[in-house]
Amino acid sequence: MRVAVIVFPGSNCDRDMHHVLTDVFKLESQLVWHTDELPKNIDAIVLPGGFSYGDRLRAGVIAAHSPIIAQVKKMAEKGMPILGVCNGFQILTESGLLPGALLRNTSLSYICKWTEIIVKNNKTPFTNKFKLNQRIPIAIANGEGRYYADKETLHLLKKNNQIVFTYAEDVNGATMKIAGVCNKEGNVVGMMPHPERSAEQILNPKDAKPASLIFESLLNTLGVIA
Amino acid sequence: MSLTPQEFDYLEKKIGRKPNPVELQIVAAEWSEHCSYKSSKKYLKTLPREGKRVISGPGYDSGVLDVGDGYVVTVHIESHNHPSAVEPYGGAATGVGGVIRDILSAGTRPIAILDGLRFGDIEKDTHARWLFKNAVRGIADYGNCLGIPTVGGEIEFDKCFTNYALVDVASVGFGKKEKLIQNRADGGDYVVLIGGSTGRDGIGGSQFASDKLESENRSAVQIPDPFIEKLVIEVILEARNQHCIKAMKDLGGGGLSCAISETSDALSVGIELDLAMVHKREQDMSPTELMVSESQERMLVITSPEKLETLKEICTKFHVPFSVVGRVTDDNLMQVKSQNDLVAKLPSNIVANAPLLDRPASMPKYLQAITSIKKPKTPNLSKTLLEMLSNPNIASKRWVYTQYDHEVGIRTVIKPGQDASVLRLDNGKFLSIKIDGNSKHCYINPRQGVMGCFDEACRNVVCTGATPIGMVDHLQFGNPEDPEIFWTFKESVEGIIEYAKHFEIPCVGGKVSLYNETDKGPIKPTPLIGVLGLIEGKPLIPKKAQKDDLLVLVGITKDELGGSEYYEYVHKIVGGVCPAIDMKSSKANQEAILKIAPQDLAKSIHDCSKGGLGVAVSEICITNEIGCSVMLDKVPAENLQDDELLFSESHSRFLLVVDPSKLESVISILQKRGIKHGIIGKFSGSSIVFKNKNKPAASIRVDKAQEKWLNSLGLLVSHG
Looking at residue B62, its pLDDT comes to: 86
pLDDT score at B348: 96
Cα angle B5, B215, B141 (rounded to 5 degrees) comes to 115
β-bridge partners, A180: A165, A191
Model pLDDT, residue A1: 66
Annotation says A194 is catalytic: yes
**Residue A20 with chain B: CB contacts under 8 Å:** 410
- Closest CA in chain A for residue B137: A109
Do residues B267 and B185 lie in contact, with contact meaning Cβ atoms separated by under 8 Å? yes
**Host domain of residue A82:** 2-225
Closest C-alpha among A127, A4, A132 to residue A71:
A4
Query: Domain of A42: which CATH number?
Result: 3.40.50.880
Spell out the SS3 assignment of B129-176.
HHHHHHHHHHHHHHHHHHCCCEEEEEEEECHHHCCCCEEEEEEEEEEE
Which residues of chain B neighbour A109 with C-beta distances below 8 Å? 137, 140, 402-403
B554-573 burial: b if 16+ Cβ within 10 Å, else e: bbbbbbbbbbbbbbbbbbeb
Active-site hit among A86, A94, A144, A182: A86
Q: Does A173 contact B at CB distance below 8 Å?
A: no
B424 — contact with chain A (CB < 8 Å)? yes
Pairing of strands B604-607, A44-47: unpaired
B232, B195 Cβ separation under 8 angstroms: yes
Instruction: State the pLDDT at residue B327.
Output: 97
Other Cβ atoms within 10 Å of B162 Cβ, number: 18
Residue B204 pLDDT level (bands cut at 50, 70, 90): low
Give the separation between CA B599 and CA B601, rounded to whole angstroms.
5
Q: pLDDT, tens digit, for every residue of B73-100?
A: 999 999 999 889 999 999 999 999 999 9
Instruction: Name residue B130's amino acid.
Output: W
Confidence of residue A226 (pLDDT cuts 50, 70, 90): very low
Query: Which pLDDT belongs to residue B212?
Result: 67
- How many angstroms separate the CA atoms of B26 and B30, rounded? 6
Q: Which of B80, B82, B474, B677 is catalytic?
A: B80
Average pLDDT over every residue of B592-596: 98
Best of B174, B318, B410 to substitute, by most chain A Cβ atoms within 10 angstroms, is B410
Mean pLDDT, chain B, as a whole number? 95
C-beta separation of B513 from B446 below 8 A: no
Taking an 8 Å cut-off on Cβ atoms, the answer to whether B145 and A55 are in contact is: yes
The answer to whether A196 is a known catalytic residue is yes
DSSP B627: -
The Cα of A8 is separated from the nearest Cα of chain B by a number of Å equal to 10
A3 touches chain B (CB under 8 A): no
Under the banding of pLDDT at 50, 70 and 90, the label for residue B530 is very high
Residue B624: name the closest of B599, B645, B603, B593 by CA.
Answer: B603
pLDDT at B2: 75
Nearest to A113 among B145, B402, B413 (CB): B402
pLDDT in tens, B418-462: 889 999 999 999 999 999 999 999 999 999 999 999 999 999 999
User: How far off is chain A from B148, nearest CA to CA, in Å?
Assistant: 8
With b for 16 or more beta-carbon neighbours within 10 A and e for fewer, the A60-77 pattern comes to bbbbbebebbebbeebbe
| Dihedrals phi, psi of B355, to nearest 5 degrees | -60, 130
Residue B317 contacts A, CB cutoff 8 Å: yes
Neighbour count for residue B241 (Cβ, 10 Å):
12
The question of ipTM being above 0.85 is answered as: yes
Does the pLDDT value for residue B698 go beyond 80? yes
> Would you list the domain boundaries of chain B?
181-354, 376-395+542-720
Q: What would the mean pLDDT of B388-416 be, rounded to a whole number? A: 97
Which CATH topology does B376-395+542-720 take?
Phosphoribosyl-aminoimidazole Synthetase; Chain A, domain 2 (3.90.650)
pLDDT of B259-303, one tens digit each? 999 999 999 999 999 999 999 999 899 999 999 998 999 999 999
Confidence of residue B218 (pLDDT cuts 50, 70, 90): low
Q: What is the mean pLDDT of residues B653-672?
A: 98
Interface probe, candidates A8, A11, A12, A66, chain B, greatest B C-beta count within 10 A:
A12
Model pLDDT, residue B220: 63
Chain B: nearest CA to A18, how far in angstroms? 11
Of the pLDDT bands very low, low, confident and very high (cuts 50, 70, 90), residue A225 is very low
Q: Which residues contact B476 (CB under 8 A, 6 or more apart)?
A: B79, B81, B166, B168, B512, B513, B514, B516, B523, B525, B526, B527, B528
Q: How far is B415 from chain A (nearest CA, A)?
A: 9
Confidence band of B339 (pLDDT split at 50, 70, 90): confident
CA distances from B31 to B10, B28, B341, B513 (A): 12, 5, 25, 14
pLDDT tops 80 at residue B341? yes
Q: How far is A184 from B444, CA to CA, in rounded Å?
A: 68
A112 assigned to active site: no
H/E element holding B494? helix B483-503
Residue B654 near residue B556, CB atoms below 8 Å: no
Strand duo A111-119 + A82-85: pairing:
unpaired
Average pLDDT in chain A: 96
Would you state the pLDDT for residue B572?
A: 96
User: Coil, strand or helix: which one is B471?
Assistant: strand
Residues A159-209 pLDDT 10s: 999 999 999 999 999 999 999 999 999 999 999 999 999 999 999 999 999
- State residue B371's pLDDT score: 87
Q: What is the DSSP string of A153-176?
A: HHHHHHHTT-EEEEESS-SS--GG
pLDDT one-digit tens code per residue, B19-54: 999 999 999 999 999 889 999 999 999 999 999 999
Closest CA to B675 of B594, B574, B568, B562: B594
The A residues from 11 to 50 touching B (CB cutoff 8 Å) are 12-13, 16, 19-20, 33, 35, 49-50
Summarised one tens digit per residue, pLDDT across range A88-131 is 999 999 999 999 999 999 999 999 999 999 999 999 999 999 99
Taking 60 as the threshold, does the pLDDT of residue B579 lie above it?
A: yes
A115 touches chain B (CB under 8 A): no
Q: What is the rounded average pLDDT of the residues B487-503?
A: 97
pLDDT for position B638: 85
Using the predicted structure, report yes or no on whether residue B175 has a pLDDT greater than 50.
Answer: yes
Closest residue to B319, CB basis, from A9, A19, A113: A9
Closest among B250, B257, B198, B243 to B223, alpha carbons compared: B198
Sorting pLDDT into bands at 50, 70 and 90, what band is B205? low
Which has the closest alpha carbon to B458: B636, B602, B654, B596? B654
Q: How confident is the model at residue B14 (pLDDT cuts 50, 70, 90)?
A: very high
Computed from CA positions of residues B712, B715, B717, B720, in that sequence, does the dihedral angle turn out positive or negative? negative
The per-residue pLDDT for A88 is 98
Is the pLDDT at B715 greater than 90? The verdict is: yes
Question: Could you tell me the pTM of the whole model?
Answer: 0.95
Q: Which candidate in A13, A21, A51, A105 is best for mutational testing of the B interface (most B CBs within 10 A)?
A: A51
pLDDT at B59 over 70: no
Q: Say whether residue B227 is in contact with chain A using an 8 A CB cutoff.
A: yes
* Total domains present in chain A: 1
Backbone angles phi, psi at A31, to 5 degrees: -80, 130
Q: Is the pLDDT of residue B399 over 90?
A: yes
> Going by DSSP bridges, is the β-strand pair B333-338/B341-347 parallel, antiparallel, or unpaired?
antiparallel
According to the model, what pLDDT value does residue B250 have?
94
A110 vs B contacts (CB less than 8 Å)? 140-141, 144, 403-405
Instruction: Identify which of A19, A50, A110 has the shortest CB distance to residue B140.
Output: A110
- B306 in helix, strand or coil? coil
Nearest Cβ partner of B407 from A10, A54, A112? Answer: A112
Give the per-residue pLDDT at B206.
Answer: 64
- Determine whether the interchain pair B147/A13 forms a contact, defined as Cβ–Cβ distance below 8 Å: yes
User: Min CA distance, B469 vs chain A (Å)?
Assistant: 23
Task: Tell me the nearest-neighbour CA distance from B34 into chain A, angstroms.
Answer: 31
B657 forms beta bridges with B551, B604
Between chains, do A10 and B408 touch, taking CB under 8 Å as contact?
A: no
Mean pLDDT of B549-576: 97
Which of A98, A58, A64, A111 is closest to A180 using CA atoms? A98
Q: Which has the closest alpha carbon to B457: B431, B430, B432, B436?
A: B436
Residue range B181-354, CATH number: 3.90.650.10
**Host H or E run for residue B423:** strand B421-424
Q: Which pLDDT score is estimated for B720? A: 63
Instruction: Show residues of chain B in contact with A51, CB under 8 Å.
Output: 144-145, 147, 226-227, 230
Asked if B409 is an interface residue toward chain A (Cβ–Cβ < 8 A), one would say yes
